[in-house]
Structure 1
Amino acid sequence: MFQYYCGLRSGVKPNPSSKRSSFAHKISRFLKCCIYFFMSCIVFHGIIVLYGAPLIESVLETFLFAVLLSTFTTLNCLCMLGPNIQAWIRVFSKNGAMSIWDNSLQITTMCSIVGAWLGAFPIPLDWDRPWQVWPISCSLGATFGYVAGLIIAPLWIYWNRKQLTYKSR
């Protein structure tokens, strides 16, 4: 694979200037991914505040929860799809997932978000437990949702494998 990527398999030796441009391309893609990740943290932070999180009192806790959600959702997509917005739109559009990896990205992302949302339910209860402090229950919900997505995704893919193979043809 490495030989094919570098052009050694075709018998043509790579040009040293193309190595530099390839390295520069990798650096620019990495920087784009870092910018997208930071932007997703800010967007999640804004959405969390709009859903009722404290704006001023717990800014650090809210932002760290946004980083956790971005890690469970955006980082996976950046690792699998890269900073290609068209690929993201294709994967997350209705019936847009074309491969097994696309379906697993959809499932883990949705399970993480739903888990975080379900984790907010115990916060207003009058139990006065230490785990009800913002954002502990939401973080636990997002983590359990992500783990559930990691378990559900292969099972869903196994049950729908014939549909997925026909869809990709």
Structure 2
Amino acid sequence: MPLVDPVTMSSSIAKGGVAAARSSPSAATGKATTTSSSPTTAVAKLLPVQLQQTPASQYTRHAVPALLAALFVARFQSLVADPVATMYSSLPVVAALQMAYALACLPIAGAAGSGGAGASARKPRPGDKKKTAGSGSSAGGGGGGDAAGRRPYPPVTAFLSLILTALATPFLFAAMVLFGAPLLTHPAHTLLCAAHLAVLALFPLFYVHGVDTAAWAAVAACQAPFDDTFGGLVGGLAGAWLGAVPIPLDWDRAWQRWPVTILAGLYAGYLLGRALGGSWLLWGKKF
């Protein structure tokens, strides 16, 4: 049996590996390329949310912001006098208005027009056409079908979105504390303020995107296109942040107490951002 020099053998193997890598660079980097390009592809597929084009949708789209603004103005004095009781009692009304807006105006998660990557990226499966024929969503239905032809029920989706909104509220509470909100002296104030922020800004996004990770990654990275839902989120966050400016000023006004100005900025910013996001000025555009 001939002797084999281990040094020579290892050198030959190394040279062969280098030559193979040079001749086929895509084979060595194919997995990394696929992994790194997938988030960009998912973000690119996210489209702006298209509202339902029905008379009821158009009426609700303009009526709900007016009712939210009227509710806040009507209860402003009560908010200054007793913030906790006022925010607690008005939260169900705000949630009901947001649910009415979602049911009448927004497409359901996964349906055409919801903007998510999953609705348009799923390849047709055998039997889809046969099972879904005659059961497609109408202009005002707001529901899409799954692979088995079952159509989501919008009230159930709205209820599940409300549960997700409630689950997200503690995280907003923690974020507000990290940004300087009083934790030990005003925990109820901060928690209710976070709940209002979640119901206004996050609930519509949960309704149209569900738990689509690609859509939420785009929203978190500020790469989502502007529409009514994303514009409301950006406006609400910016308004709440700007609302903190008057608090440290030594004007000795009753409305400077926590979190009156935060809530005022939140509502004003949300309504303005939602209006601009759904207008021709910003709709479909990105940061």
Structures share fold, TM-score greater than 0.5: yes
**In the alignment, what sits opposite 1:42?**
170
In our comparison, the structure showing a higher alpha carbon Rg is 2
Partners of 1:44 and 1:94 in 2: how far apart?
17
CA 71–30 in structure 1, closer or farther in 2 if over 3 Å, else same: closer
The question of 1:152 aligning with 2:276 is answered yes
Deviation at 1:37, TM superposition (A): 1.4
CA 9–160 in structure 1, closer or farther in 2 if over 3 Å, else same: same
Partners of 2:228 and 2:239 in 1: how far apart?
16
CA 8–42 in structure 1, closer or farther in 2 if over 3 Å, else same: same
CA 159–138 in structure 1, closer or farther in 2 if over 3 Å, else same: closer
CA 33–151 in structure 1, closer or farther in 2 if over 3 Å, else same: closer
Counting matched residue pairs gives 144
**In the alignment, what sits opposite 1:9?**
134
Secondary structure at 2:227's aligned position in 1?
Answer: helix
Indicate conservation of the 8 Å contact 1:32/1:83, yes or no: no
Amino acid at match of 1:111: G
CA RMSD in angstroms, aligned pairs only: 3.3
What is the TM-score of this pair, normalised by structure 2?
0.43
Partners of 1:45 and 1:94 in 2: how far apart?
21
Secondary structure at 2:189's aligned position in 1?
Answer: helix
Deviates more, 1:138-147 or 1:75-84: 75-84
Indicate conservation of the 8 Å contact 2:224/2:230, yes or no: no
The question of 1:121 aligning with 2:245 is answered yes
User: Where do residues 19-168 of structure 1 align in structure 2 (5 Å cutoff)?
Assistant: 33-93=161-221, 95-97=223-225, 103-155=227-279, 158-159=280-281, 164=284
Partners of 1:48 and 1:154 in 2: how far apart?
27
Secondary structure at 2:202's aligned position in 1?
Answer: helix
Identity of aligned residues (%): 27
What is the TM-score of this pair, normalised by structure 1?
0.69
Indicate conservation of the 8 Å contact 2:236/2:266, yes or no: yes
